[in-house]
Amino acid sequence: MEELDSLRGLAALCVVFYHFKLLLNEDALTGMASILYRGPLRLFTAGHEAVILFFILSGFVLSIPAIRAKAQAYPVFVTRRIFRIYFPYIVALALAVSGAATLHTNIPGNAWFHRTWSHPVEWHLVLAHGLFIGQYDTAEFNTAFWSIVVEMRISLVFPALCAFALWLKPAKSLGFAMALSLGSYLLLHGVPQRHFILAGTTHYAGMFVVGIYLARQQRQMSQLYTSFSRPAKIAAAILCVILFVYSGHFFHALMLKRGGTSFILQSDWLTSLGGAGLILFSLNSESCRRVLLLRPVRFLGQLSYSMYLLHGTVLFALVHLLCGHLTLIAILPLYLATVMVSSAIFYRLIERPSMEWGRRISGRLPQFKADALHGLLGPAGVVSE
């Protein structure tokens, strides 16, 4: 589904802009600049929202073989996920650690900036990043790595998660997704933000289940979309964009005074609702499909994972090297160009070969059929209730 790859590419570009935005001092913006910064421009800097969309897309795409009764054997699935996600991550981690070891200096910057490359490399932290061990500071080497930890952890249990979600009736599977999130909420209520990312994995597993639900109900959702009038489709599209881009921002402003991390868990569900709508429009709207299938947008989709892995390292390297020589705004075009070029090289030399190795190695593993899963789901393939 090339449309979903393109959607992922646009989301990755939002993360690229989002982390540059975090370098700036929002409090210094006034008047029209503040309106643009928190208004229309937020459409291009919805970074956390983009990651929620990544999780929903993963659940959607990974569940399709099971829905079509073509689920891979577990060793095959895990092998491919390791080569798809983990090996490129390890190479990107090596680049980030090299940058931290070489360039860490105490230069001017805000609190967010000083969470990364702020002191000499601690090798036990490198080991923790490589093995995903325990609670550790995932922002020390690359501020985007936290979601890779979540993605890989959920991937290891995804076949069981998917089987259970598909065994439930569609409405109940959404209840299951919310129960996963509620479990994190109860565990993390009042917990400091630094402990949220890893301990909140079950919350993000709920986003995967939302993706499973969308894949399962794809036919019904398409029929519902075609039943809408053109004005209703336009209104629904605007509502989805507002929910996806702005709901978390407004919810954060309302809930921040309460402290802790509960507002993140709660606002993510409004974001997920908007993200689910974006996926449905991407697959059903001819106007959306035409945009998403444009060659430059498809190119972004192809590079999306490489962009996500590298952009933080590129950003911090440029800021450390050019601090005092160029302003942040002057660094922006250089940052974007470097991210695109380095991502294209990384995709060709690392990401694409890694995927090919995964296919070759998994092809040599026992290819037994997932009979237990097929028997659990029944002959209908659970496309509909």
57 neighbors 151 (Cβ within 8 angstroms)? no
Q: What percent of the chain has pLDDT above 90?
A: 57
Distance CA 47, CA 38 (A): 13
What are the tens digits of pLDDT across the range 109-166? 788 888 899 888 988 889 989 988 777 888 889 999 989 999 999 999 999 999 999 9
Mean of the pLDDT values across residues 34-63? 85
Lookup result for tokens 């605007």: 238
Q: What percent of the chain has pLDDT above 70?
A: 83
Distance CA 149, CA 129 (A): 8
Model pLDDT, residue 309: 97
Three-state SS at 333:
helix
CB under 8 Å to 91, separation ≥6 — which residues?
346, 350
Model pLDDT, residue 268: 86
Distance CA 118, CA 223 (A): 53
Mean of the pLDDT values across residues 274-290? 94
- Angle of helix 146-167 versus helix 47-67 axis, rounded to 10: 40
User: Does residue 384 belong to any structural domain of this protein?
Assistant: no
Please list the alpha-helical segments (H only) found in the chain.
2-21, 31-38, 47-67, 74-81, 87-103, 123-131, 146-167, 170-188, 196-199, 201-216, 218-227, 230-255, 262-284, 286-292, 295-322, 328-346, 352-363, 371-377
Q: Worst-scoring range by mean pLDDT, 77-86, 264-273, 325-334, 340-349? A: 264-273
Q: What average pLDDT does the structure give for the chain?
A: 85
User: Does residue 162 belong to any structural domain of this protein?
Assistant: yes
**Counting beta carbons within 10 angstroms of the beta carbon of residue 375, is it exposed (0 to 12), middle (13 to 18) or buried (19 or more)?**
exposed
User: Does residue 68 belong to any structural domain of this protein?
Assistant: yes
CB under 8 Å to 155, separation ≥6 — which residues?
58, 62, 78, 81, 85
φ, ψ at 333 (rounded to 5°): -65, -35
Radius of gyration of the chain (CA): 21
Is pLDDT larger for residue 11 or for residue 363? 11
Model pLDDT, residue 163: 93
What are the tens digits of pLDDT across the range 315-341? 999 999 998 888 888 999 999 999 999
Model pLDDT, residue 379: 36
Task: Report the amino acid identity of residue 78.
Answer: V
**Confidence grade of residue 107 (pLDDT, cut at 50, 70, 90):** confident
CA atoms within 13 A on the CB side of 384: 5
User: Does residue 383 belong to any structural domain of this protein?
Assistant: no
Q: Is the pLDDT of residue 255 over 80?
A: no
Lookup result for tokens 């705004």: 329
Most confident of 16-25, 251-260, 333-342: 333-342
Model pLDDT, residue 217: 93
Domain that holds residue 157: 2-377
The tally of domains found in the chain comes to 1
- HEC readout, 98-146: HHHHHHCCCCCCCCCHHHCCCCCCCHHHHHHHHHCCCCCCCCCCCCCCH
What are the tens digits of pLDDT across the range 207-241? 999 999 999 999 999 999 999 999 999 999 999 99
Q: Is the pLDDT of residue 371 over 50?
A: no
Model pLDDT, residue 252: 61
Model pLDDT, residue 266: 67
Determine the longest span between alpha carbons in the chain, in angstroms.
65
Model pLDDT, residue 26: 58
Model pLDDT, residue 376: 41
Mean of the pLDDT values across residues 288-317? 95
**Confidence grade of residue 187 (pLDDT, cut at 50, 70, 90):** low
112 neighbors 23 (Cβ within 8 angstroms)? yes
Model pLDDT, residue 374: 44
User: Does residue 80 belong to any structural domain of this protein?
Assistant: yes
